Structure 1
Amino acid sequence: MEPVRKKQLIEATLEVMAEVGYHGTTISLISKRAGLSSGIISHYFGDKQGLIEATMRHLLDALKITQRIDDPLERIDFIIENNFSQTQGASSATNTWFNFWALSLHNEGLHRLQCINHKRLERNLAFSYRKLLKPEQVKNAASSTAALIDGYWLRYSMGSVGNGDFSEAVARCKQYVRDLVAQYGR
């Protein structure tokens, strides 16, 4: 029952943060949304901060590569698509990511999670780029691709372009990768 309740609380946290932001999010609002007592949050997560960190880990887990993809270009495509997936682009996830990024500037636990996410993305990209590019190009390609993913995700999520439709952002990121491979490939 514990995993089910934790999932309910994490989903409720995503919804509440999407509606009222981090500062408006309270244990009471989360527990009401989840249909559970507020004491259960303390029992499972310690406090609001523990629940927020668990919610961020939930979003980060959705970005993990869970399948084996041998072709390096297909693997990079998967990473790009996964970062622009419906899960990451849903309004509740989007608002939580915005809060997460802002809070990570001042919160050690969230900053640590942000660093883990950033390093994981670059490591995963570099792993595939090593098979596609000259060695001296790998680090820059991974870093630039990660920045491109983050930048397009931010622009498209804020609605300044694309109206929440990530298909153009995905296509542009994939084209960038192909251009890199054409220019610096082995």
Structure 2
Amino acid sequence: MPKVGMEPIRRHQLIQATMQAIDEAGLADTTIARIARTAGVSTGIISHYFGGKDGLLEATMRFILAELGATVSTRRRALGTSDAKAHLRAIVEANFDDTQVSRSVMKTWLAFWATSMHRDDLMRLQRVNDRRLYSNLCCQFRKHMPRRDAQEAARGLAALIDGLWLRGALAPEGLNAERAIHIAFDYIDEKLTASTANRGTRPTSATAHRHPSKESIS
């Protein structure tokens, strides 16, 4: 009979072994036997806890996504301000945090993205993650600009984060997280500065009331 309290330890151990195996051999050659050997357990343990390789891959991605969500929350709570620019920057920094850019995690992310195109359960995880990022970004941009502008700015920043991360993951020299963060920061500054300038050219509230915009009547 397993010792009380061993299950969380075993699960974490196997998730770490999965990322290590993907790092070393790629997803196609990451077999149950290889993961078990890396973790120093029997293959039956993996079947017992996860039902097989597919279940273990899903659990591994849930673990990485949970770490990302926790990192975003921790950085935002530490700000002590509701300033949109600060929160947008914190979200960017969290996506390039050490927990998301280690070699094993990056290779697992890449394997996850590729596999999610063929597995509904992983695709759902991917969509949840995408929507969470977009929603967080849009909420902050909305503090400075109309809804449609905020939506476009959020889509742009989300695409920029993913693109910078992906290019870094595939680059022979690896990801330069600091440079990627600065590029994303420049995008945020550009959007917020443009929004401030646009506010100065908009009609007064009285004029806007007489001539409602598409934004106000949509």
Which of 68, 77, 83 is the equivalent residue of 2:89?
77
Deviations 1:36-92 (A, max 9, x none): 221111111111101000001111112213232532211111110111111211110
| 1:111-160: CA deviation from partner (whole Å, max 9, x where unpaired) | 11111111111011111111122323111111110000000111111116
% identical equivalent positions: 42
- After superposing on structure 2, the runs of 4+ consecutive aligned residues of structure 1 that deviate more than 3 Å are none
Correspondence 1:145 to 2:152: no
8 Å CA contact 1:134–1:184 kept in 2: the answer is no
CA RMSD of aligned residues (A): 1.4
How many Å separate the matches in 1 of 2:97 and 2:142? 25
Match of 2:115 among 103, 112, 129: 103
Aligned residue in 2 for 1:52: 57
Question: Pick from 16, 22, 31: which aligns with 2:27?
Answer: 22
Q: Is 1:124 matched up with 2:136?
A: yes
1:21 Cα offset (Å): 1.1
Residue 184 of structure 1: how far off its partner (Å): 1.6
Match of 2:175 among 161, 164, 179: 164
Q: Distance in 1 between the 2:30 and 2:109 partners?
A: 14
The runs of 5 or more residues in structure 1 that have no matched partner are none
Distance in 1 between residues matched to 2:137 and 2:42, nearest whole Å: 42
Q: Which amino acid aligns with 1:39?
A: G
The worse-fitting range, judged by mean Cα deviation, of 28-37 and 172-181 is: 28-37
Do the aligned residues in 1 keep the contact of 2:96 with 2:177 (CA within 8 Å)? yes
How many matched pairs? 185
For 1:22, give the aligned amino acid.
Answer: L
TM-score by length of 2: 0.81
Asked if 1 retains the 8 angstrom alpha-carbon contact of 2:23 and 2:103, the reply is yes
Question: TM-score under structure 1 normalisation?
Answer: 0.94
